[in-house]
Amino acid sequence: MNDNVKSVLRTLFVSAALASCVIAYYACDYLKRASDNETYAARVHASQELLADPNFKAYMDNRQKALDSILGASNSLTSASSIAEQLDAAVGSAPSLDR
């Protein structure tokens, strides 16, 4: 083989390798995006079910009332973690959808 043929073959091989890397990257990106979309759709559906649950609505109303009373009674700066602890102590944990 002469040098021109070797050069052309080397160029074709490198181009094919580069093209396969680009195709693999975009295929993985597409699959990840499709997976993220499915996960997002499932989360939205679960959130909608949770918001439609009357027990959860009552829990959120009680939590808002407790938050208002905590913030109204606080004369100093309160950290977010202590507010969360006070809310959990006042209201308890959120109801689950497991039936």
% of residues, the chain, pLDDT over 70: 91
The confidence score (pLDDT) of residue 98 equals 63
The residue type found at 18 is L
Structural domain count of the chain: 2
Regarding whether 83 and 58 lie in a shared domain, the answer is yes
SS3 95: coil
Distance between CA atoms of 22 and 1, rounded to whole angstroms? 30
Of how many residues is the chain composed?
A: 99
Q: Give residue-wise pLDDT tens across range 58-97.
A: 888 888 888 888 877 765 666 777 878 888 888 877 777 6
Regarding whether 57 and 39 lie in a shared domain, the answer is no
Regarding whether 42 and 16 lie in a shared domain, the answer is yes
Regarding whether 79 and 59 lie in a shared domain, the answer is yes
The dihedral built from the CA positions of residue 44, 83, 75 and 71, taken in this order, carries a sign that is positive
CB burial string 18-27: b at 16+ within 10 A, e below = eeeeeeeeee
Q: Is the pTM of this model over 0.85?
A: no
